[in-house]
Amino acid sequence: METTAIAGKEAKGYKLFTPVKLGALSLSHRVVMAPLTRMRTTKDNIPNDLMAEYYSQRATPGGYIISEATVVSRNGHGYYGEPGIYTDQHVEGWKKITKAVHDKGGKIFLQLWHNGRQSHFDLQPDGGAPVGPSVVPHDDMVFTPKGWVKASPNRALNIDEIRVLVDDFRRGAENARAAGFDGVELHGANGYLVDQFLQDGTNKRTDEYGGSIGNRVRFLLEIVEGMVAVWGGDRCAVRLGPSGTFGSISDSNPAALFGYAAEQLNRFGLAYLHVIEPRIVGSYLKEEGLQPVASAQLRKIFKGAIISAGGFNREDAEAILQRGDADAVAFGRFFISNPDLPLRLQLGLPLNDYDRNTFYGGDEHGYTDYPFYKGAVTSQAAAR
């Protein structure tokens, strides 16, 4: 495969390659594998041997991986081939993956999610409507057995259903523990269910889960409370995307909303807050004159560690660490195409180009066939 050149010398003295403690995790370096939706399950959303190989390739001694987003309930699916964590078979499948990562000396959290209204009739139990906090029309696309199609209209959840979903997330945390994970991260970003409750562009409720910022953050906090009851705060984390627009998401005052959410999360003693940096400011932010919300702002509010994500290269990652706005950096696309990414970044080696055509669904192509640098299969240098 072709390669992309980066800085041609070893990153000596870089903070990116120094140890860090994130809650209960003691890591050898700060290059984190971001949660990446790859959709490689082949039957009943059960993790498989191919996935175990993929994760094993990217594990490093003392390194940290956040799993792909994993569905906590049967009505939570929005992408054909994504894994679940709500059956015994899911747990057994994930055990292969946690063992593969641990055998390489790595650590791995399971990211819990529910797609909410980002779904289609074909992905729902008995062909039902996707669920969300409110009925708000949108034109987003989802991946089904028939390929990419427009999402189906959703219906609004009632209070009893919301409470069931909170329990589904808690049960997902329990199942993650049974599967051998080191902790759990809640996906509260990218326009999926938790984010749909947070932002007033998608949450039009008038009950205790809608209206005020405090009410809209309630669903997030109730889920985190359940996760922490299972794991303890230092093995739980939350991912937020304050400036994202994916999933037709928007809020009239994101700085106030996400500042409040970060402040409320302080009480749980989380391992970290995972913040998606604004790479492209969405049109609604420009039109309303709102500034994007990033790690720098939330660092002033959140008392724990922060992982930043969002199109970083080695130099950008080092810069945000040196500024003190983050404690570690998550890499996505380059981790897809470079199973030995920590080593390549540390030594300034060329990077494999990634193939977007193989990001979502398929087989081993564009998944486990990206080469290690010159056939090397170890990242020991990056873990020193």
pLDDT of residue 328: 98
Q: How far is CA 165 from CA 113, 118, 132, 194, in A?
A: 11, 16, 11, 11
pLDDT > 90? residue 275: yes
Q: What is the pLDDT of residues 163-201, one digit of tens each?
A: 999 999 999 999 999 999 999 999 999 999 999 999 999
Res. 376: pLDDT tops 70: no
Lowest mean pLDDT among 51-65, 242-256, 274-288, 318-332: 274-288
Which residues contact residue 349 at a Cβ distance below 8 angstroms, ignoring those fewer than 6 apart?
Answer: 6, 343, 373
Q: Which domains does the chain have, with CATH numbers?
A: 3-383 (3.20.20.70)
pLDDT for position 381: 43
**Residues catalogued as catalytic:** 192
The three-class DSSP label of residue 35 is: coil
Q: Residue 281: is its pLDDT beyond 80?
A: no
Residue 134: its pLDDT value, please? 98
User: Which position has the higher pLDDT, 366 or 286?
Assistant: 366
| Angle formed by the axes of helices 159-178 and 213-231, nearest 10° | 30
Whole-angstrom distance, CA of residue 382 vs CA of residue 101: 16
Q: Is the pLDDT of residue 380 over 90?
A: no
pTM, two decimals, is: 0.93
Q: 354: pLDDT confidence band, cut at 50, 70 and 90?
A: very high
Quote the pLDDT of residue 378.
47
Average pLDDT of the segment spanning 135-160: 94
Across 84-88, average pLDDT: 98
Examine the pLDDT at 5 and tell me if it is beyond 50.
no
Q: Is the pLDDT of residue 327 over 70?
A: yes
**Over the stretch 198-246, which tens digit does the pLDDT of each residue have?**
999 999 999 999 999 999 999 999 999 999 999 999 999 999 999 888 8
Across the range 332-360, mean pLDDT stands at 96
| Range of lowest pLDDT (67-81, 151-165, 284-298, 361-375) | 284-298
Q: What is the pLDDT of residue 85?
A: 98
CB 31 within 8 A of CB 62: no
Amino acid at 158: N
For 331-339, the CB contacts below 8 A with 24+ separation are: 331/31, 331/32, 331/33, 331/34, 332/34, 332/36, 335/33, 335/34, 335/36, 335/58, 336/36, 336/38, 336/366, 336/370, 337/1, 337/370, 338/370, 339/57, 339/58, 339/370, 339/372
Spatial contact of 362 and 11, defined as CB atoms under 8 Å apart: no
Q: Is the pLDDT score of 384 beyond 70?
A: no
**Does 379 or 74 have the greater pLDDT score?**
74
Percent of the chain with pLDDT over 70: 92
Average pLDDT over residues 83-89: 98
AA letter at 190: N
- Say if residue 66's pLDDT is above 70: yes
Q: Which pLDDT band, with edges at 50, 70 and 90, does 6 fall under? A: very low
Calculate the average pLDDT of the chain.
92
Q: Are 354 and 336 in contact (CB under 8 A)?
A: yes
